[in-house]
Structure 1
Amino acid sequence: MRQLIAAAEWREGERQRGDHARPPVPDWLLERTHLPVVHAGDCWIVRKSNRCVPVSRDQPLDALRQQVPACSHCRPDTELGYLD
């Protein structure tokens, strides 16, 4: 029984260390494919994708002004307050 408890405590410690080591979620993402798309940092469509790069707040606004579409799922244009 003690071994089971020790193993569970070890797993929990590993999970917590992983949580602390994980980089923070970026606020904004820009999809870098042949058809770029602006995403909010927590968009579930691209959560574990390597197609996106984190960007500052000004970059998605500039992209939207240049007619780069906003993701229809996370709606970063609404969150940024961008209106056509």
Structure 2
Amino acid sequence: MRIWHAMWLERIDRKVADLRQRQAEEERGRARRPPAPDWILELNRATGRPLAVHAGDCGMAGRRKRPVGQDDARRLLTTDGVPACPICRPDTSLHIVDGLVGVFEGSPQAARS
């Protein structure tokens, strides 16, 4: 009985050590992962043309995508006519209303109007 219990304790200890090592590796991987971009441009797989603008954490973006800056996202939505994702609504986050940059009270743009 003692040998049998010792064998099982050794197996359990090995399994615990393996799990701790795996968790440490996953944590190191998470720490090294680059931060998610603020905005994503989804591209057509066949032509490479823009399909939609997404928020950086949107799960609806396809496989072909590239990060874009805030100014580029605004330009794509307003000038270039790229549609906004209907799920994450980057146009709302960027204060764009009907293809125009929104003007709010108290903003420098509102004072010029």
Q: Any stretches of 5+ residues in structure 1 without a counterpart?
A: none
Larger Rg: 2
2:41 to 24, 30, 33: 30
Q: Which moved more, 1:4-13 or 1:27-36?
A: 27-36
The Cα RMSD (Å) is: 1.4
Does the Cα contact within 8 Å between 2:41 and 2:50 map onto a contact in 1? no
Cα deviations by residue, 1:9-48 (Å, 9 ceiling, x for unpaired): 101111101101211110001112235211100111127x
| Distance in 2 between residues matched to 1:43 and 1:36, nearest whole Å | 14
Q: Does residue 1:79 correspond to 2:93, yes or no?
A: yes
Map residues 1-84 of structure 1 onto 2, 5 A cutoff: 1-33=12-44, 34-46=49-61, 49=63, 51-66=64-79, 67-84=81-98
Of structures 1 and 2, the one with the larger relative CO (CA 8 A, separation 6+) is 1
Number of aligned residue pairs: give it: 82
| Structure 1 residue runs of 4 or more that deviate by more than 6 Å after TM superposition | none
What secondary structure does 1:36 align onto?
strand
Give the alignment's TM-score, normalised by structure 1.
0.88
Q: Any stretches of 5+ residues in structure 2 without a counterpart?
A: 1-11, 99-113
Q: Which moved more, 1:34-43 or 1:60-69?
A: 34-43
Give the alignment's TM-score, normalised by structure 2.
0.67
What secondary structure does 1:78 align onto?
helix
| Sequence identity (%) | 43
Higher helix share: 2
